[in-house]
């Protein structure tokens, strides 16, 4: 019994005005297309976890594990023989490790942006992509954390970074931006996990209840006796595994009331957090008195770049997932459009920052600063600058065109360009500033070694391993939130058309 509460009373002047203006109907693209119902959404998302592991998953997992082993071997090599196996040499003592750290941390930012900032801005389209984006954040932070951890040299002393009493009776030095970074990144990782986990609790409850339902029905047929036994055993595992994680969640109105408040508060906390993390990462550079690093533009520029690269990565991940799992009704063209537009917006900010840096260098009338920037674009690392500029400034400008945004394959390729471009940005900032500093006698040229390259290459494997495990064991999308933005969930019955019987 859907009752419409639409206000039908309208005074004469308003009616006359409307007749004159003839406003066009504003059609908002639905967030879940093809008139799907609640059960379809629940089924679609849960069955990703509940059905037999697809063959492609095993293949991807095998490839990912092999790729990840490069990081393992690279780090083993590093620790057993010393930091000399990396390409670091005076004056360039911050090389790929720092570049990779900033690159991965930046990627993480889109996840928090989608889950927190877009939540505060009440952007309904975040719902179907936020879970995967948050997972991406956490796994990116894991990959990022490896580099500074091993960059300290003697990794077994890395715990000295934390304010824990040690046998030297000495404490961390809190005036250093590097120490701030320890706090920023570890807080970011922890809060992201908390936010991700809390958002998942209702969906874990759903997975638990579905396992219980299947066990209660007790119908395990269709395969051999052993296959059926395994299916039943898996449901026993799911029942217990998800029950522990769901903490007894039972979808009560009272639960939702506190949960929604907690979610909103966490979104409100994560927003200043995500902005602070890359700000503090940029302080690692900006607080050094080195031309090319010592600029006040860094915090906003780094944050915009981080969001840009993160959305690039979200597109890189979500477009194949959408195709593999047939999620076209949940990740619609509207979602892709919006993500492309954010890439366009943040990409333009990044482009503006690149140009503004030149302006500041000129306007500041500091010869060292001017040299640093001219050298960046036309010096020995000109090729890196060209890569950065073309990928980051020109690529996203194509997103102005609807035709481009509607071509999923093209968007995917462009998202890869964005990832590549943003890696080069960090390379340009870190390496070019160090390679040619104040004293020309000490100038150098940095090249990574094989260990550098393979360690970084392996982190993509590590990231993929974690992401594949996430796909297999946890709900890919927030089921409750997707339902919440569907017209059926509206308590006042503002629904386009009446569909058939729901039960």
Partner 1 sequence: MTEKYGIIASFPDTPSFFHAAEKVRDAGYKKWDTYSSFPVHGMPEAQGQARSKVPVFTFLGGITGFTVGLLMVWWMNAYDYPLIIRGQPFFSPVFPFPIMYELTILLAAFGTLGGMFITNLLPQHYSPLFNSDQFLEVSGDRLVIAIEARDGQYDAVATRQFLEEIGGTDIEEVSA
Q: Which of residues 177-236 bind partner 1 (CB under 8 A)?
A: 177, 179-180, 183-184, 187, 190-191, 194-195, 197-198, 202, 205-206, 209-210, 212-213, 216
What is the nearest approach in angstroms of partner 1 to the Cβ of residue 493? 4
Cβ 377 to partner 1, closest distance in Å? Answer: 32
CB count, 10 Å around CB of 360?
Answer: 17
CA angle 2, 256, 50 (to 5 degrees): 90
Q: How many CB atoms lie within 10 A of CB 172?
A: 16
CA distances, 332 to each of 93, 127, 191, 339, 436 (Å): 46, 12, 29, 11, 48
> How near is the Cβ of 335 to partner 1 at its closest, in Å?
19
Residue 313 vs 486, nearer CB to partner 1:
486
Choice between 38 and 460, CB closer to partner 1? 38
Stretch of residues binding partner 1 (CB under 8 A), selected from 230-238, 267-275, 306-314, 369-377:
267-275
Nearer to partner 1, 209 or 425 (CB): 209
Question: Interface residues for partner 1 in 20-79 (CB under 8 A)?
Answer: 37-39, 42
- Rounded to 10°, the helix 55-81/127-151 angle is 20
Q: Is 341 left (phi over 0), alpha (psi -120 to 50) or beta?
A: alpha
* CA-closest candidate to residue 474, choices 134, 148, 155, 174: 134
For partner 1, give the closer residue by CB, 85 or 193.
193
Query: CB neighbours (10 Å) of residue 214?
Result: 18
Q: In terms of CB distance, is 208 or 405 closer to partner 1?
A: 208
Torsion angles phi and psi, residue 332, rounded to 5 = -90, 175
Within positions 240 to 259, which residues make up the interface with partner 1, using CB under 8 A? Answer: 247-259
Do 494 and 487 meet the contact criterion of CB atoms below 8 Å apart? yes
Query: Shortest gap between Cβ of 266 and partner 1 (angstroms)?
Result: 5
Q: Which is nearer to partner 1, 46 or 350 (CB)?
A: 46
Q: How far is the CB of 502 from partner 1 (least distance, A)?
A: 6
Size of the site for partner 1 (CB under 8 A): 74
Asked if 294 is part of the footprint of partner 1 (rule: CB under 8 A), the reply reads: no
Q: How many other C-beta atoms are found inside a 10 Å radius of the C-beta of residue 38?
A: 14
Q: Whole-number minimum distance, CB 312 to partner 1, in Å?
A: 26
Least separation in angstroms between CB 337 and partner 1:
25
334/376 Cα distance (integer angstroms): 39
Candidates 306-314, 385-393, 449-457, 488-496; binding stretch for partner 1 (CB under 8 A): 488-496
**Closest CB 500 distance from partner 1, rounded Å:** 12
Rounded distance between C-alpha atoms, residue 111 and residue 192, angstroms? 9
- C-beta closer to partner 1: residue 129 or 185: 185
Instruction: Give one DSSP letter per residue of 5-42, joined into a string.
Output: -------HHHHHHHHHH-PPP--PPPSS-TT--HHHHH
| Nearer Cβ to partner 1 (39/81) | 39
Please, which residues bridge with residue 424 across strands?
A: none
Closest approach of partner 1 to the CB of residue 162, in Å: 11
Q: Which of 82, 163, 233, 364 binds partner 1 (CB under 8 A)?
A: 163
State which of positions 374-403 bind partner 1 (CB under 8 A).
none
């Amino acid at each position: 019994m859907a009752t419409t509460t639409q206000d039908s009373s309208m005074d004469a002047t308003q009616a006359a005005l409307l007749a004159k203006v003839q406003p066009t109907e504003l059609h908002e693209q639905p967030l879940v297309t093809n008139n799907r119902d609640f059960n379809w959404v629940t089924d679609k998302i849960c069955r990703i976890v509940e059905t037999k592991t697809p063959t492609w998953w095993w293949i991807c997992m095998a490839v990912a594990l092999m790729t990840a082993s490069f990081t393992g071997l690279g780090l083993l090599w590093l620790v057993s023989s010393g930091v000399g196996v990396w390409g670091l040499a005076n004056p360039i003592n911050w090389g790929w490790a720092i570049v990779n750290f900033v690159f991965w941390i930046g990627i993480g930012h889109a996840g928090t942006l989608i889950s927190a900032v877009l939540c505060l801005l009440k952007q309904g389209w975040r719902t179907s992509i936020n879970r995967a984006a948050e997972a991406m954040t956490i796994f990116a932070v894991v990959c990022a954390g490896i580099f500074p951890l091993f960059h300290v040299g003697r990794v077994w002393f890395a715990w000295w970074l934390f304010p824990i009493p040690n046998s030297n009776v000495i404490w961390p030095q809190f005036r250093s931006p590097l120490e701030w970074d320890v706090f920023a990144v570890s807080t970011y990782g922890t809060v992201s996990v908390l936010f991700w986990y809390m958002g998942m609790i209702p969906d874990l409850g759903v997975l638990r209840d579905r396992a219980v339902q299947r066990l209660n029905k007790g119908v395990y047929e269709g395969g051999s006796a052993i296959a059926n036994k395994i299916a039943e055993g898996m449901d026993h595992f799911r029942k217990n595994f998800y029950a522990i994680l769901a903490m007894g969640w039972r979808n009560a109105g009272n639960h939702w009331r506190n949960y929604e408040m907690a979610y909103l508060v966490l979104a409100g906390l994560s927003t200043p957090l995500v902005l602070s993390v890359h700000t503090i990462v940029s302080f690692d550079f900006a607080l050094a008195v080195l031309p090319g690093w010592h600029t006040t533009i860094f915090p906003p520029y780094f944050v915009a770049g981080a969001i840009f690269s993160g959305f690039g990565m979200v597109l890189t991940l979500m477009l194949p997932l959408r195709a593999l799992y047939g999620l076209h009704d949940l990740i619609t063209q509207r979602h892709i459009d919006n993500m492309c537009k954010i890439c366009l917006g943040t990409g333009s900010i990044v482009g503006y920052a690149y140009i503004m840096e030149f302006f500041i260098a000129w306007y500041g009338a500091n010869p060292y600063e001017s040299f640093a920037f001219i050298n960046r674009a036309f010096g020995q690392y000109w090729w890196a600058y060209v890569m950065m500029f073309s990928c980051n400034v020109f690529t996203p400008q194509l997103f102005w065109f609807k035709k481009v945004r509607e071509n999923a394959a093209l968007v995917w390729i462009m998202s890869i360009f964005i990832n590549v471009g943003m890696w080069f940005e960090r390379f340009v900032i870190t390496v070019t500033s160090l390679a040619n500093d104040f004293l020309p006698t000490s100038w150098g040229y940095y090249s990574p070694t094989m260990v550098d390259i393979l360690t970084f290459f392996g982190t993509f494997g590590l990231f993929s391993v974690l992401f594949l495990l996430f796909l297999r064991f946890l709900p890919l999308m927030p089921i409750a939130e997707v339902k919440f933005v569907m017209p059926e969930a509206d308590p006042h019955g503002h629904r386009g058309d009446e569909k058939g019987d729901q039960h």
